[in-house]
């Protein structure tokens, strides 16, 4: 029997949350930036050994001064995927703020930080800074929704942790 788990995608705007979900769910990617307004939910079944897990992927709009993520959206989440744009260091600050808000709302749930757009050469988030986050307990993966690098791995890894919890 399949179990249903909710995952929220959290991060600043234009970091690639929707692209990551689309890459994972539909294996498609578009270079055109289309901002998300509100919430979009996608569903994906994942097979983990003998267990089938139905992931409800809550693709939340990006956090900025124009749109703030409602804490209530996070309730019921079994896992969180925080997304930063590797070419925009400031998006990591947004992630850290969202992480704190998530902790205040739903406590500690399995989470992974995705440093997206790793296919682009203009990297602003260097290894030292990411290593420091890993030392603090973060799981960090460099991903590319464009090439698919580490995308499947990120979702499956988080799912495995949620199921194990």
Partner 1 sequence: MSEPRVSLPAGLSLPLAEHLVDRALAQRHPAWIVTDRAGRITEAGGELAFYGLDDLQPGADIRSVSFAESVFAAHTEPLVLPAVRLANGRSADLLLAAEPEALATLLLDADPEVYGARPYQQLAHELRLQLERVAATGAQVPEQVLGAMDAVVYGHGDDGNLTLLSTPLPWLLDLAGRHDGEPPALSPAALSPFLEHFVAEAAELWAAGQPARLRSGPWTETLPDGSECPLEATAVVGAAGARALVVQRLAENFRERSAFLQKARSTVLEYEGLRREIQKKELLLDCLVHDLKGPLSVIVGNLSLLRSPTLDPDRAQGLLATSLVHARKQLDMIRLVLDVFSAEIEAMEEFQVDPATAPDARACVEALVSDHGPSFEQRGVRLQLDAPDDSRRLPVVGDAARLERVLTNLLENALRHAPRGSTVSVGLRDGGEEVLVHVEDQGPGVDPEVVEDLFEKFGRGRRSGGMAGLGLYFCRTTVERWGGRIGYERAHGGGARFWCRLVAAQPVNPTAPRS
Return the number of the residue (72 or 137) whose C-beta is nearest partner 1: 72
**Distance of closest approach, residue 26 Cβ to partner 1, in angstroms:** 11
Return the number of the residue (91 or 143) whose C-beta is nearest partner 1: 91
Which residues, 6 or more positions from 103, have their beta carbon under 8 angstroms from its beta carbon?
none
Return the number of the residue (124 or 138) whose C-beta is nearest partner 1: 124
Which residues, 6 or more positions from 110, have their beta carbon under 8 angstroms from its beta carbon?
78, 79, 80, 158, 161, 162, 165
**Distance of closest approach, residue 57 Cβ to partner 1, in angstroms:** 10
Report how far residue 3's alpha carbon sits from residue 51's, in angstroms, rounded to the nearest whole number: 8
Return the number of the residue (122 or 136) whose C-beta is nearest partner 1: 122
- What residues make contact with partner 1 under the rule CB under 8 A? 6, 13-14, 33-35, 37-41, 56, 62, 64, 66-67, 70, 72-73, 75-76, 88, 121-122
What single string gives the DSSP state of each residue in 112-130? EEEEE-TTSS---S-HHHH
Return the number of the residue (6 or 23) whose C-beta is nearest partner 1: 6
**Distance of closest approach, residue 25 Cβ to partner 1, in angstroms:** 11
**Distance of closest approach, residue 69 Cβ to partner 1, in angstroms:** 10
Break the chain down into helix, strand, coil percent, rounded to 5. 35, 30, 40
For the chain, strand residue ranges (E) read 3-11, 39-48, 51-60, 79-85, 111-116, 140-142
**Distance of closest approach, residue 137 Cβ to partner 1, in angstroms:** 27
Contact in structure between 84 and 125 (CB atoms under 8 Å): yes
């Amino acid at each position: 029997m399949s179990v249903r788990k909710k995952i929220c995608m959290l991060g600043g705007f234009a970091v690639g949350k929707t692209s990551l979900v689309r890459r994972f769910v539909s294996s498609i990617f578009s270079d055109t930036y289309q901002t998300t307004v509100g919430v979009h939910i996608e569903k994906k079944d994942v097979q983990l050994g003998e267990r089938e897990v139905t992931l409800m992927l809550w693709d939340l709009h990006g956090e900025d001064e124009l749109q703030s993520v409602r804490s209530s959206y996070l309730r019921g989440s079994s896992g969180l995927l925080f997304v930063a744009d590797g070419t925009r260091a400031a998006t990591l600050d947004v992630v850290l703020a969202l992480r704190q808000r998530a902790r205040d709302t739903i406590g500690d749930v399995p989470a992974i930080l995705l440093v997206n757009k790793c296919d682009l050469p203009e990297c602003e988030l260097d290894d030292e800074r990411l290593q420091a986050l890993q030392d603090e307990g973060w799981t960090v993966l460099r991903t590319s929704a464009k090439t698919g690098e580490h995308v499947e791995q990120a979702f499956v890894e988080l799912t495995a942790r949620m199921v194990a919890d």
